[in-house]
Structure 1
Amino acid sequence: MNDAIVLLGMTTSLLELISFLLAVMTVALTIRQVHWGWLFSILSSGLYAAVFFDAKLYGDMGLQVMFILLSFWGWWQWWRGDGEGEQLHVTSLTRAQQLFAVLAWAALFAVLVFFLKAYTDTDVPYADGFLTAGSLVGQFLLSRKKIENWLVWILVDVLYVGLYVYKNLHLTALLYAVFVIMAIMGLRSWSKSCQQ
């Protein structure tokens, strides 16, 4: 399933293609705030873990495992609401929460770079670590329906396009280019329903 195939002039695999389609469904459902997007996230992340292992993007592979765990948690958050019987609404981060998110990103980045350099044979520990850390922050914010998740995803997805081109994962690079557009759409859509 991970054998090379050529699709639209790009070398890919059936595994990467299926992961691509499931990931697009995930974001499309998330933009509409449909909780079933979390199921597609779990499936896509499981398949992408295998794709990234093959490409020696171990941070991204580990990220997919974290995405699976965070997707179960996010699904639960969207289903159960705010803990007081109310539906979870789109809200903004406070200044303190914004600072915490930035510091969490920096701390995760430092830990991941150390791990990737010490224990793996990756050739891109800084890019992999930075984008993995940002993706974890973005996924956490998405799980809590924080509008800033889309800003994180726009930045991360733009940078991922370059990383995946470098790693010859051209279909995945295309996916992340599509994600940039979808994240902008998500930001606009969620802005309309944001409750400060």
Structure 2
Amino acid sequence: MSDAIVFLGVTTNLLELISFLLAVITVALTIRQIHWGWLFSIVSSGLYAAVFFDAKLYGDMGLQGMFILVSIWGWWQWWRGNSEDERLQVTSLSLRQKIFFMVLWGALFAALVVFLKRYTDTDVPYADGFLTAGSLVGQFLLSRKKLENWTIWIIVDVLYVGLYLYKNLQLTALLYAVFVVMAVMGLRSWSKACQQ
């Protein structure tokens, strides 16, 4: 699966291409609040773990494992809802919750940078750590249908485009550019559905 192929004018391999397509399906279903998106997330994350291992993006590789775990939990949350009679609804974070998640992002970033610098041979520990931490926070908020997840994804995805171009993962950079547009669409769609 590592043989080079060209897709949309970008050189890639079959593993990255399949991961790309599944990830687009994941986000499209998530924007529409369809719980099956979590299944596609699990498969895409598993495949992307191999892509990122090959690129020495260990934070992103580990993130895929976390995405799998959070996706299983998120699928359960979306399916089960808040109670047996009520499906999980889109809501917004309080100011206190926003501050908490910003501090959490910072703490995860610091811990990941230390880990990446000490235990891996990555050449981008700060970028990898910052974006991995933000992705963890965004994924958790997504699993709870919090509107602010889309804002985090917009920020993270824009920065990921640059990182993946730097690491010569052109198709994945294109994917994250598509994700930026889809995250804006998600923010608009979920804003209309938000029940504060």
TM-score of the pair, normalised by structure 2: 0.98
Write the distance in 2 (CA, Å) between the matches of 1:3 and 1:110: 37
Residues 101 and 39 (structure 1), Cα distance of their counterparts in 2 relative to 1, 3 Å cut: same
d(CA) in 1 for partners of 2:137 and 2:89? 19
What letter matches 2:61 in structure 1?
Answer: M
The DSSP-based 3-state class of the residue aligned with 1:122 is coil
Specify the SS of the correspondent of 2:159.
helix
Alignment partners' CA distance in 1, 2:52 and 2:70? 18
| Residues 19-38 of structure 1: pairs in structure 2 closer than 5 A | 19-38=19-38
What SS does the corresponding residue of 1:103 show, helix, strand or coil?
helix
Q: Which secondary structure does the structure 1 equivalent of 2:89 belong to?
A: coil
Cross-structure match for 1:70: 70
Query: What is the CA-CA distance between 1:10 and the residue it aligns to?
Result: 1.9
Q: Match for 1:53: what amino acid?
A: F
Instruction: Find the counterpart in structure 2 of residue 154 from structure 1.
Output: 154
Q: What secondary structure does 1:20 align onto?
A: helix
Give CA-to-partner distance per residue, 1:133-178, whole Å, 9 cap, x none: 0000000000000000000000000000000000000000000000
The residue number in structure 1 matching 2:193 is 193
Which residue type is aligned with residue 29 of structure 1? Answer: L
AA matched with 1:51: V
Work out the CA distance in 2 between the residues paired with 1:86 and 1:100. Answer: 27
> Following the alignment from structure 2 to structure 1, what is the Cα–Cα distance between the partners of residues 136 and 10?
29
Tell me how far 1:38 sits from its aligned partner: 0.1
User: Which secondary structure does the structure 2 equivalent of 1:19 belong to?
Assistant: helix
After superposition, residues 123-142 of structure 1 pair within 5 angstroms as 123-142=123-142
Shift of 1:83: 3.3
Q: Where in structure 1 are there 5+ consecutive unaligned residues?
A: none
1:15 aligns with 2:23: no
SS class of match (2:17)? helix
Determine helix, strand or coil for the equivalent of 2:112: helix
Residue in 2 that maps onto 1:120: 120
| Cα displacement (A) at 1:5 | 2.0
- Tell me the equivalent position of 2:143: 143
Partners of 2:119 and 2:178 in 1: CA distance? 32
Q: Which letter does structure 1 place at the counterpart of 2:81?
A: G
Question: For the Cα contact (< 8 Å) 1:2–1:51, is it kept in 2?
Answer: no
Partner of 1:85: 85
Instruction: Kindly state the Cα deviation for residue 86 of structure 1 after the two structures are TM-superposed.
Output: 1.3
1:169 matched residue in structure 2: 169
Extract unaligned runs of 5+ from structure 2.
Answer: none
Which structure 1 residue ranges, 4+ long, deviate > 3 Å from structure 2?
Answer: none
Using the TM superposition, name which of 6-15 and 125-134 deviates more: 6-15
Q: CA deviation at 1:84?
A: 5.5
**What is the letter of the counterpart of residue 140 of structure 1?**
F
Root-mean-square deviation (Å): 0.8
Question: TM-score scaled by structure 1?
Answer: 0.98
Q: Which residue of 2 aligns with 1:51?
A: 51
Identity of paired residues, percent? 81
